[in-house]
Amino acid sequence: MNKYFTRLSILWLLMIGLVSLGIAQEESANKWTQFRGEDRSGKSMESLDGVDWSTSKPELVWKHELGSGFAELTMMGNRMYTMTSQTIDSTTGSEFLAAYEVETGKELWRQKVDSIYFDPDGWGDGSRTTPSIDDEHIYCLSGHGKLSAHHLKDGAIIWQIDLKAKYGSAEPRWGFSTSPIILEGLLIMEVGGAENKAFVAFDKENGEIVWNYGKGNASFNSPLLTTIDEQLQIIFANGKTLYSFNPKGDTLWTYAMPFGGITAMPLLIKNNKIFLSGIRNPGFVIVEINDHKATEFIRGTSMKTDFNTAVYHDGYIYGFHVASLRCISAETGEAKWTKRGFGKGSLMIVDDQLLVLSDKGKLIIVEAKPDAYVEKTSVQALEGKSWTAPSFVNGKVYVRNLTHMACYKIK
Amino acid sequence: MKSKLIWSLLLVLCFGVIQAQELDEIISKHIEARGGAENWAKVNNMKITGRFTAFSVEEDWMAIKTNKGQYYSELHLGKHAVIEAFDGEHGWTIDPWHEISFPRILSKDEDNVFQQKSSLMTPFLDYKEKGLVAKLIGKQDLEGVEVYTIKLTRPSGKYETWYIDANTYLEYRRDSYWVDFTYPTPAESYFEDFREINGLVIPYYEEKMFSQRNRVLLIEDILFNIELDEELFEMAKSSEMEALSFMKGSWDVEVQGWSGRANKWYPMDATTSTIKYAANNMLEEKIRYKTDFVMPIVSQYSYHAGSGKYRVCVYNDFSGETEMFIGQISDSTFTADNTKMIYGGMQDPQAFGKVTITPEDSDHFNVLIENSFDKGENWNPGNKLIYTRKSN
């Protein structure tokens, strides 16, 4: 009897486990709720097993016009959210947060968040940041620095803060570019405000400050949320310093970087190492964190990333070295392969495949393996300048640029 | 000991000779791979049209190269249209990225870039005659391509490293110095898509990376030996000075004075004048004419971009005085006066002057000189100079 109940219990537990795992995978598969995906790694946990690359090509599901902006396409359930814009003339226009049907790309609602940010150099107008989503709300930051919380169902504004007016934040040269992190009840981001408000954790319910720290203008990169040494950490690369905070805002450690002003965000590799890369020499540094101490692991010149962050997979870093797609060893920094022709593109990783979007909108699927550059398939997904990295949910890749967005079925 | 030294010296000498022979052979094969010296000798100039990518945006592009090392190009760099030209030694550009709308002279570092851009083939064609020095560094695997590595030093002392594909003898990559906002920066250039045209082999794709920049040139069409106006390579004037270019030339000048009593102009003198560009953006006139006395006058016309106004500096060699006038063009008529001029914190107490220049046609223009004793409230006619272009 006991044996019977023990077996039943084990079976029951296994079933619960399997169901939970299924739910977790389903949940993960249905979401791309923030900049660079669920853990900001640019990695989807979905599987591409069964795709016959010799016969299958990315298949267009839908493509629609979209106003200018650089926000990634974020998704939860059957809805997709992003930032878009509309110009009235050469000096006026608006930025919007907008929602769409995932299946069709049909617009469901749009909510004006600010006047449009016009890029002074012509790189592209509109918001430069990706909204972050929780169960009921979505949070976004405009190019001019208006941070707002909205209801997911209709985009109605719950609260809005003008960072420049309220906290004296200086508008960065190419607009506010940091994508906020949601952590439990907090919304954490670079504000670049006066009076010790370089980094701020807002109460996401009302926009009130919970904690703030540091001096300095807002950088162009976004913070990393990760767990190192069993400690949840929020990591900012600002100026020439890398900062780590716990969720309460206590400084865990800092590190003096060999370069400043990086645009690509910090990338977690191998549980306790962080890859930082910028266009200036030396190009990259990998920092190892042990017992809340950061020390240099290696540095090198083989990867100099500009504005799009690299991805890490099985001991190797894949990213854009200036304008060449490159694979380097995360142990030695040695370049394993280089492929030019994609300009200053972007990438993400699904399973063991890189989904690369060239800076002119070509989507290329490449094996994430160090042995050699192996291209599986490609499609001209968009036309024109494409600087926003793809998102991936439920076997489909979602891409956008300054004029269009599109969905392609991969699996 | 002595014999060992001699043997060592001989070995080094032999190695040098072998290496030089190998280098000559590589360069010879490279020239052959690019179509051969004979075919390239037939090329006086090339007009290349295609697409140019900067900041991830592809736009039209054109360039002209000549066998004298001249280069002229019109391109779009992001939101700005850029013109650049090089006469074989020095160059100029109109590049609004520098927040300058007028042509400016290139620096030595920029000239080095244009030395590279202007090569018809690669610099290895006739490199010795042009004073370039090549040195074979060796053979290596570069990004999976077996290449010969050659260091090339220009007469200026600037050098570049060329990687020649050991199988095709076509250039694979060049490491050199480029410029980013006038500052020298290392650059990698890659050459691909070699195609044969008129017996010449030319890379139709060139990609360059320097600093954080990425530039791609795609050739669509090449015309050979087109008719060229050498003025194309001469430094352009600013558009504002170009608007005064109608004054350039040699002139017969009729000088008239104003008779207040008779209320009409009367002839005073007949003279000549030469007006030419004394500097790229400065017109200078030398004239002498008699009013009461002989007035040798030197006038210099320039444009001050900061204030958006013309400036005229007039030196009177009779009185030894210099006056400055500030002016503008409106409805094709140039006017300048000195009512706003302050010298040493004070306004000159002398009478004020105004000059009005009106073009009639390409061979005629008039200059009216007026004066005022009430800071420009009222202007009184002084002299009128009527210019007629000399027939020769």
**pLDDT tens for residues A150-159?**
999 999 999 9
Q: How confident is the model at residue A12 (pLDDT cuts 50, 70, 90)?
A: very low
- Long-range contacts formed by A239-247: CB under 8 A, 24+ apart: A242/A266, A242/A274, A242/A276, A242/A287, A242/A294, A243/A199, A243/A213, A243/A214, A244/A289, A244/A292, A244/A294, A245/A199, A245/A213, A247/A183, A247/A184, A247/A186, A247/A201
Nearest CA in chain A to B208: A323
Chain A with chain B: Cβ pairs closer than 8 A = 40
The reported pLDDT for the residue numbered B21 is 87
- Name chain B contacts of A343, Cβ cutoff 8 Å: 53, 56, 214, 216
Q: From CA A84, how far away is CA A129, in angstroms rounded?
A: 11
Record: contact A324-B58, CB cut-off 8 A: no
CA atoms within 13 A on the CB side of B84: 25
Cα A285 from chain centroid? 20
Q: How far is CA B194 from CA A338, A352, B41, B60, B372, in A?
A: 21, 35, 19, 20, 71
The reported pLDDT for the residue numbered B344 is 78
Strand-strand pairing, A181-183 and A391-393: unpaired
Establish if B332 touches chain A: CB-CB under 8 angstroms: no
The reported pTM is 0.88
Alpha-helix runs per DSSP H in chain B: 2-33, 37-41, 108-117, 239-242
Q: Which of B57, B207, B212 sits opposite A306 (nearest CB)?
A: B212
Tokens representing A282? Answer: 């030396």
The reported pLDDT for the residue numbered B5 is 60
- Which sign, positive or negative, has the C-alpha torsion A93, A97, A99, A105? positive
Q: From CA A373, how far away is CA A359, in angstroms rounded?
A: 18
d(CA B209, nearest CA chain A) in Å = 7
Between positions 70 and 109 of B, the ones with CB within 8 A of A are 78-79
Q: From CA A263, how far away is CA A162, in angstroms rounded?
A: 23
Q: Which of A123, A322, A324 sits opposite B55 (nearest CB)?
A: A123
Tokens representing B305? Answer: 């971009």
- Name chain A contacts of B213, Cβ cutoff 8 Å: 322
Close Cβ partners of B112 (under 8 Å, ≥ 6 residues apart): B154, B156, B158, B177, B184
- The residue among A344, A357, A374 with the most chain B CBs within 10 A of its CB, best to mutate, is A344
Q: From CA B345, how far away is CA A70, in angstroms rounded?
A: 53
What's the mean pLDDT when you consider all of chain A?
93
The reported pLDDT for the residue numbered A23 is 41
Convert B67-94 to b/e letters by CB count within 10 Å (16 or more is b): bebbbbbbbbbeeeebebbbbbebbbbb
Percent of chain A at pLDDT > 70 equals 93
Q: From CA B110, how far away is CA B183, in angstroms rounded?
A: 8
Q: How confident is the model at residue A31 (pLDDT cuts 50, 70, 90)?
A: very high
Q: From CA A200, how far away is CA A190, in angstroms rounded?
A: 6
Q: Which residue stretches of chain B have pLDDT < 70?
A: 1-18, 348-350, 392
Establish if B137 touches chain A: CB-CB under 8 angstroms: no
Establish if B212 touches chain A: CB-CB under 8 angstroms: yes
Cα A4 from chain centroid? 49
**CB atoms inside a 10 Å sphere around CB A320:** 27
> What's the one-letter identity of residue A206?
N
A226 pLDDT exceeds 70? yes
Tokens representing A107? Answer: 């617009």
- The residue among A325, A334, A360, A387 with the most chain B CBs within 10 A of its CB, best to mutate, is A360
Q: What is the CA radius of gyration of chain B?
A: 30
- The residue among B52, B55, B95, B142 with the most chain A CBs within 10 A of its CB, best to mutate, is B55
Close Cβ partners of A90 (under 8 Å, ≥ 6 residues apart): A118
A26 pLDDT exceeds 50? no
Q: Do the beta carbons of residue A273 and residue A288 sit within 8 Å?
A: yes
The reported pLDDT for the residue numbered B345 is 75
The reported pLDDT for the residue numbered A28 is 53
Q: From CA B291, how far away is CA B385, in angstroms rounded?
A: 12
Q: Which of A324, A341, A344 sits opposite B56 (nearest CB)?
A: A344
Coil, strand or helix: which one is A209? Answer: strand
d(CA B255, nearest CA chain A) in Å = 52
d(CA A312, nearest CA chain B) in Å = 22
